[in-house]
Structure 1
């Protein structure tokens, strides 16, 4: 390993970096971009890692999986091999194994497949919007942002209504790192992982014996090259779908309301032509907020990027939050603009590489439909206070968001 750490630079893997406002977090990343496209940071309990903060360099790492591997983990923290094997699914694999498993599950997430469930999603969203209290302050995160993705994913998997509170609690445990830490740089929660995994194995066995019209039944029976998912592969995929699919979508919904409320002119523009602006609005929300701030790779050989010499075995962290605010790609990147012509270049779902988000079509459908139903039923829906941000480097999220619904825009 080569590189030098500087005490003057705040590492993005530390609490002091994230225990501040969103604007200040972005400013720290701006400082890193201006200093160097790639910087080495030490770790208290680890060998250290390289931070990649520029857009082009993030692309270069993402799109070169032979040199920058996912198989040793996707988080800054090193995860035991046994945890990677059962809990992290395709996201912690390289080809050809990754390609094989993705081939089995990806048919359920194509644009055509997602269109097939659009009306069901709209029904859930309409009910959520109808349930909102009028002219009373409520917390948007549990009342709206959490409800839709949990409902959609559980419905897709065929998880009965009675089991969904347990699934939600287990997913929250994983995302929070187990709930016993004030600051986290990675998901965790052994109890939550174990609950979801065990439940998935039982559900898979039930659907093998008695198939239904749900994703679980399809996944346990679909064959590619004469093979189906093993129980371990199915269980780990369910963990990925429930945790990643739930958390990223709910955070994007919360950020969407926060940003549109902070920029009322942008909200007016959206409501004046919702069909014409909503897709670009979603891309701009994802760009601006970057709910998933980073992913990690590990160098397989000695290499160089951004002028830095990286040794085989070094951890390389791609900071999407920084890349999505790279001023060399996005003009005035701290301006929230739903008409931004290149908002679609955002890397919030990945870099169109082999690990590009499998559920991107589903996530965009949920965001599009939920926002439409909300603003149709409550044109005056807006936040009434500052968001409470999660203290996490792995999820750039909103823990609580006070809001008020009403008829008037």
Structure 2
């Protein structure tokens, strides 16, 4: 198959397929002798990095592969990059400085401090699940916990939360585009940003016991500016909300489709939950890609990459690389190396800040659900999102 005949993962034709179909196309790309350059209808094109080792190599070399030009396939206007994209679109030293200001809130110890709140919210969501009726698992369960937890962490009042959920949904869905390669909804982004700046100003004047107050307080002569806080909240609400809700939806779908695995988890929840979380994230890869930009001419995977070229790291493909994961299409919660997945990044400078929080939410929500509803399962095919930026489920019929 010639390069021109390879279906680009930046196109609708690629993502219109089933999850298995998408994985098959990535398998074809991994089998190529060199990484492939894909042209774009409205852009300069990009390199698709699809092998595990190559994705790790790009991730861990930020001097050669920069984040500062954006992390999406599409180039984003500089002003949107600055306000909406936060640390994720920065290189060191600025990235390191901002990350150091916020990371204390996301350590394992900090997450243990909010564990009771997470459990209370999860128990309430499990109690609200309809009995003996088919319901949409995404809207009634998966959507609720992550945004509730983030709103509580930030001290967003109950009365404002439905607005935040709506705006976050608009941004993540690509602002109503039929096919998305990036977060969209500039209006939603602007409103979340404006709301966060106001919240930051209020807490600066009248601090409380929440993350907003901590992040806007001055420590060692430095605090987040209102603009930095606004862009961090966008990152937290969109990234923190989206990845966790998608992992929850995929977890129910995959466990339902593999009843032997569901039984294994229910027989020994404590012994299998961490492996289940890792295998769900490996298999589904809720964030399918991140992009970098080459700062110098360089060679990678048999290709010569020029300065300024866009380089896209496909985590979904790397997480199914048969040279790392035996029989990668098999969903197996006892997979011994599932924890090697790159679903939260490659332990590089941009490794997911919220990994401890996400894992806690997944662990607690699944435990509360399976305790309250041991027979819960998906009863239909998932409705996959038509997006290259989110490997996601838009709706999933379920039954208790």
- Normalising to structure 2: TM-score of the pair? 0.99
- Please list, as runs of the form range in 1=range in 2, the aligned pairs for 1:200-215 lying within 5 A after superposition: 200-215=196-211
Task: Summarize the alignment of residues 136-175 of structure 1 with structure 2, pairs less than 5 Å apart.
Answer: 136-175=133-172
Is 2:358 aligned against 1:374?
Answer: no
SS of the residue 1:317 aligns to: strand
Alignment of 1:227 with 2:222, yes or no, is yes
Counterpart CA distance in 1 for 2:251 and 2:127 is 19
Q: Is the 8 A contact 1:5 1:42 kept in 2?
A: no
Residue 387 of structure 1, CA deviation: 0.3
DSSP-derived class of the 2:208 partner = coil
Superposed CA RMSD: 1.0
SS at match of 1:395: coil
Q: Secondary structure at the match of 2:299?
A: strand
Aligned to 2:3: 6
C-alpha displacement at 1:330, in angstroms? 0.1
Of residues 87, 91, 98, the one that matches 2:84 is 87
Q: Structure 2: how far apart are the matches of 1:341 and 1:152?
A: 31
CA-CA distance at 1:223 after TM superposition: 2.1
Q: Distance in 2 between matches of 1:36 and 1:209?
A: 59
Equivalent residue for 1:193?
Answer: 189
- By how many angstroms is 1:7 displaced? 2.0
**Quick one: distance in 2 between partners of 1:65 and 1:145?**
34
Among candidates 23, 28, 31, match of residue 26 of structure 1: 23
Query: 2:37: which partner in 1?
Result: 40
Q: 1:68 and 2:65 equivalent? A: yes
1:285 to 280, 285, 290: 280
Return the offset for 1:112: 0.3
Which of 393, 399, 407 is equivalent to 2:388?
393
Post-superposition offset of 1:176: 1.3
Q: What is the DSSP-based 3-state SS (H/G/I as helix, E as strand, rest coil) of the residue aligned with 2:256?
A: helix
TM-score by length of 1: 0.97
Aligned pairs for 1:201-280 within 5 A: 201-224=197-220, 226-280=221-275
SS in 1 for 2:48: strand
Separation in 1, partners of 2:43, 2:201: 40
Q: Give, in angstroms, the shift of residue 37 of structure 1.
A: 4.8
Give the SS at the match of 1:129.
helix
Aligned residue for 1:35, secondary structure, equals coil
Q: Is the 8 A contact 1:139 1:400 kept in 2?
A: yes
Please tell me whether the aligned partners of residues 37 and 57 of structure 1 are also in contact (alpha carbons under 8 angstroms).
no
Give the Cα separation in 2 of the matches to 1:303 and 1:211: 49
Shift of 1:206: 0.6
Q: Distance in 2 between matches of 1:328 and 1:222?
A: 48
| Alignment match, 1:325 | 320
Q: How big is the shift at 1:5?
A: 7.5
Change (3 A) 1:368 1:222: farther
Q: Distance in 1 between matches of 2:86 and 2:145?
A: 24
Deviation at 1:6, TM superposition (A): 2.0
Work out the number of aligned pairs and report it.
Answer: 400
Unaligned 5+ segments in structure 1 are none
SS in 1 for 2:4: coil
Deviations 1:207-249 (A, max 9, x none): 011111100000000425x211111111000000000000000
